[in-house]
Structure 1
Amino acid sequence: MSEHTTAPEPAPATDPATETFVAHRNLLFTVAYEMLGSAADAEDVLQETWLRWAEVELEQVRDQRAYLVRITTRQSLNRLRTMSRRKEAYVGSWLPEPLLTAPDVAEDVELAESVSMALMLVLETLSPTERAVFVLREVFDTSYDEIAAAVDKSPAAVRQIAHRARRHVDARRPRQTVSPDVGRAVLESFQRVLETGDPQILLDVLAPDVVLVSDGGGIKQAALRPINGAEKVVRFLFGTAGKNKGPITFTPTMVNGGLAVAVHLGGELDGIMALRVENDLVTGLYYVRNPEKLTRAGTETPLTLR
């Protein structure tokens, strides 16, 4: 894995360019992350954005926020095309890098949905340009003219791309947000399974057609393809746990604005499992075990749409 530099979170900002960049840094990171699904790559994009921003003559920029978003979008598009080649060689299923988020992200329904693991996986099925247009228009409410400047298309072409991407995403996105009470009940069921060893407790909270996607990146054991169906999912989870040495614990957490459990084996973090819950049942499990994607599991990442 390449070394990733981090765009500055400079100590006291002393010049207008630095002040503006720092003021919008969380927004720019969120834009890059939603386009890439990788915090490490998003940080690289911010570094590239900063280098270009530092060379701009600010007095000639009418809307500095829009200009920064435009630079970030272009750099993200360049990286998306590189990442598509990396993903072709990736071992097994690829999942977005889970980000530990503060409770207030979950309270912002629009933000929580936009960074949810379920929606991020849907965005993976779009072309790079479609993804950029969808993220900027539907998530950040960017004008068609601004998007056109960012993706080098005409406003009319951007409108068509946005319509096509929206229709594609709407056909695949989850429809229901989860109440805190239902979420707690589901997480408690996971913990009771560990205490009792009774798989029926888990079957009771899994939808019959639940899907489990696990990402080991060729480093940790994971299913090479998604597992479909409650009984197969339970067998996989119990089988994986049985092969590991040391005690296993599940700790409730929040990643990408949604429910998740941090899985520890022998006291060491083994992975993050994000949950998709619909109609009071778990319909999706996204288990990231690739250690290269767990570097932010202990630190909250600030995300914002503004």
Structure 2
Amino acid sequence: MTDGVTANDSGDLEDLEQAVAVFAEVRPRLFGIAYRMLASATEAEDLVQEVWVRWQLCDRSAVVNPAAYLATTTTRLAINAAQSARVRRETYVGQWLPEPVDTSADPHLGAERGEALGFAVLLLLEKLSPNERAAYVLREAFDYPYAQIADILQTSGAAVRQLVSRARKHVVAERRAPVKGSEQRRLLTAFVTAARSGDLSALEKLFAADVVSLSDGGGVVTAARFPLVGGQRVAKFVTAIARWFWVGADIEWAQENGQTAAVLSRDGVVFAVVTVDATADGIDRLLWMMNPAKFGAVSVAT
């Protein structure tokens, strides 16, 4: 015994330190998996914390590949969480939109590639089954081999290929080719300028004919509860709210989910995150994220 610490205590401490080091190394990937599965930074953080607890309590000496074990645990918990989240979102007040997450420090949010991170794709993945979503995320974002995904999902390699194929077809069929990031930023900047001034004509020129406006207030703040469709209708809506929505608003440009967004705040408190998706025809989707419960991963300069 040295300084009151037994050899056994020292071994336990070293084991815990090793467990912490292993978990810290793969944590960004675990969060990236959980976020893409749940589209909620808050829920993803809670899930990763649960994985950490399980990692502490498990027999780590029996774990051959810690990274694989942790990814498997995360994915299976996320599948269960996605199933319950789907039920909750069926009774969500108004439009449900993904929870914004800052990607300025990590553009791909712990992934090999940035797939399934943008708002448009996350919305499309909401329509998939949890297993389809998991297979797509693991394959497209993290480049996991089909055999490993099969082990994680406890199914066959052939079944995983079918899951990924169906998910890909769904995303490709429903998503139009997006513009480059620089053009998305230009259109968003032009939209904010026109929206603040209530310039109806300028807004109509920015919108695709079938533009859709989606607002998520969660029943907590005033927001349109149903989608607004069509260039003229959306432009009139944006013009109508100009006289109060932008009053006293400070605007900061941020990278949320890999795309430029306008973070709106009053007196240092975020009240909205606004962004657009666009194609060669112009802005085809306008997203207003206004539920204050979803701003935990959004910050403004002080």
| TM surpasses 0.5 | yes
**Residue in 2 that maps onto 1:7:** none
**Residue in 2 that maps onto 1:46:** 48
**Preserved contact between residue 100 and residue 257 of structure 2 (Cα < 8 Å):** yes
Judged with a 3 Å threshold, the aligned counterparts in structure 2 of structure 1 residues 202 and 267 are, in CA distance, closer, same or farther, namely: farther
SS at match of 2:127: coil
Higher relative contact order (CA 8 A, sep 6+): 1
Q: How does 1:233-272 map to 2 (within 5 A)?
A: 233-244=234-245, 246-264=247-265, 268-272=269-273
> Alpha-carbon deviations, 1:114-170, whole Å to 9, x = none?
210000001001011111111111221112222122222222222222222222222
Q: How does 1:31-70 map to 2 (within 5 A)?
A: 31-70=33-72
Cα offset for 1:266? 6.8
Asked if 1:294 corresponds to 2:301, the answer is: no
Q: How does 1:209-220 map to 2 (within 5 A)?
A: 209-220=210-221
Cα offset for 1:209? 1.3
**Residue in 1 that maps onto 2:89:** 87
Q: Report the more deviating stretch, 32-41 or 151-160.
A: 151-160
SS at match of 1:115: coil
AA of the residue aligned to 1:208: A
Separation in structure 2 between the aligned mates of residue 43 and residue 104 of structure 1, nearest angstrom: 16
Judged with a 3 Å threshold, the aligned counterparts in structure 2 of structure 1 residues 19 and 104 are, in CA distance, closer, same or farther, namely: closer
SS at match of 1:209: strand
**Preserved contact between residue 178 and residue 277 of structure 2 (Cα < 8 Å):** no
**Preserved contact between residue 103 and residue 257 of structure 1 (Cα < 8 Å):** no
TM-score (structure 2 length as normaliser): 0.86
Asked if 1:223 corresponds to 2:224, the answer is: yes
AA of the residue aligned to 1:16: Q
**Residue in 2 that maps onto 1:121:** 123
- Number of matched residues? 288
Q: Report the more deviating stretch, 24-33 or 290-299.
A: 290-299
**Preserved contact between residue 98 and residue 119 of structure 2 (Cα < 8 Å):** yes
> Alpha-carbon deviations, 1:252-272, whole Å to 9, x = none?
222101021123357642210
Question: What stretches of structure 1 of length at least 5 have no aligned partner?
Answer: 1-12, 301-306
**Residue in 2 that maps onto 1:176:** 178
AA of the residue aligned to 1:221: T
AA of the residue aligned to 2:70: L
Separation in structure 1 between the aligned mates of residue 110 and residue 35 of structure 2, nearest angstrom: 17
Cα offset for 1:45? 0.8
AA of the residue aligned to 1:171: A
SS at match of 1:254: strand
Cα offset for 1:211? 1.1
Judged with a 3 Å threshold, the aligned counterparts in structure 2 of structure 1 residues 220 and 33 are, in CA distance, closer, same or farther, namely: same
SS at match of 2:116: helix
Judged with a 3 Å threshold, the aligned counterparts in structure 2 of structure 1 residues 167 and 190 are, in CA distance, closer, same or farther, namely: closer
Judged with a 3 Å threshold, the aligned counterparts in structure 2 of structure 1 residues 249 and 236 are, in CA distance, closer, same or farther, namely: farther
Question: What stretches of structure 2 of length at least 5 have no aligned partner?
Answer: 1-14
**Preserved contact between residue 259 and residue 274 of structure 1 (Cα < 8 Å):** yes
**Residue in 1 that maps onto 2:5:** none
AA of the residue aligned to 1:52: R
CA RMSD of aligned residues (A): 2.7
SS at match of 2:293: helix
Judged with a 3 Å threshold, the aligned counterparts in structure 2 of structure 1 residues 155 and 273 are, in CA distance, closer, same or farther, namely: same
AA of the residue aligned to 1:240: I
- Structure 1 residue ranges, 4+ long, deviating more than 6 angstroms after superposition: 106-110
Judged with a 3 Å threshold, the aligned counterparts in structure 2 of structure 1 residues 151 and 299 are, in CA distance, closer, same or farther, namely: farther
Cα offset for 1:251? 3.1
What is the identity percentage for the equivalent residue pairs of Structure 1 and Structure 2?
Answer: 36
SS at match of 2:72: helix
Separation in structure 2 between the aligned mates of residue 206 and residue 227 of structure 1, nearest angstrom: 13
**Preserved contact between residue 112 and residue 142 of structure 2 (Cα < 8 Å):** no
**Residue in 1 that maps onto 2:136:** 134
SS at match of 1:97: coil
Cα offset for 1:20? 0.7
Cα offset for 1:74? 0.7
Separation in structure 2 between the aligned mates of residue 100 and residue 253 of structure 1, nearest angstrom: 7
**Preserved contact between residue 259 and residue 276 of structure 1 (Cα < 8 Å):** no
